[in-house]
Amino acid sequence: MSGAPGRIRIIGGNLRNSRLNVPDLPGLRPTAERVRETLFNWLAPVLDGARCLDLCAGTGALGIEALSRGAASVQFVERDARAAQALRDNLERLKASAGRVSALEATTFLRGTPQPQDLVFLDPPFALGLWPALAQQLETGGWLAAQAWIYVESPRAGALALPSNWQMHREGHAGEVRFALYRRAVPLS
């Protein structure tokens, strides 16, 4: 985490240099600034006007960064009530009205009425191993636009079981973290 403890910085867009207040919660692992910078450089051509879903949002740094850089909307999903409230408070303070927060488990949220998204941030708590289940719910539940982008953050060691029609676009590593951007290909019927 950069900056003062309990705060992270938005690095680009109209909210650049804004600070997010981060609650002290066990397991909360904000995406590092250099990883966010790399990711949003990759996403620059497709972000303007995108509908986004930030699953397992935590601090909301990924989704708020997307709003700052021109995303039309971001639905944040965070199971921890304190993290969800901190996220609401940050959105209100930043006047980021295109962000909505649901304080739910990601699997529960994805059982709701689907709204196809152009970009999904999939960064669940590493210890829970939720990638395959959440990826399957996203793919089969109607949550992904035909050629959606999916960002996946996971431990560097080990392979993930993701849908076969998610095509690797780019990937990188930072310490023990692997980050990857996939592009969804429409499955053949």
Task: Write down the domain spans for the chain.
Answer: 7-184
* 157-184 residue pLDDT tens: 878 899 999 999 999 999 899 999 999 9
Mean pLDDT of 133-153: 96
pTM value? Answer: 0.92
Residues 6+ apart with CB under 8 A from 55: 77, 106, 109, 110, 120, 121, 122, 123, 124, 134
Tokens of 189: 């019927």
pLDDT at 150 over 70: yes
Task: Provide the CATH topology of domain 7-184.
Answer: Rossmann fold (3.40.50)
* 32-80 residue pLDDT tens: 889 999 999 999 999 999 999 999 999 999 999 999 999 999 999 999 9
Q: What is the pLDDT of residue 159?
A: 80
* 113-132 residue pLDDT tens: 999 999 999 999 887 889 99
How would residue 186 be classed by pLDDT, with cut points 50, 70 and 90? Answer: confident
Tokens of 41: 């450089």
Mean pLDDT of 80-103: 96
How would residue 187 be classed by pLDDT, with cut points 50, 70 and 90? Answer: low
Mean pLDDT of 126-141: 91
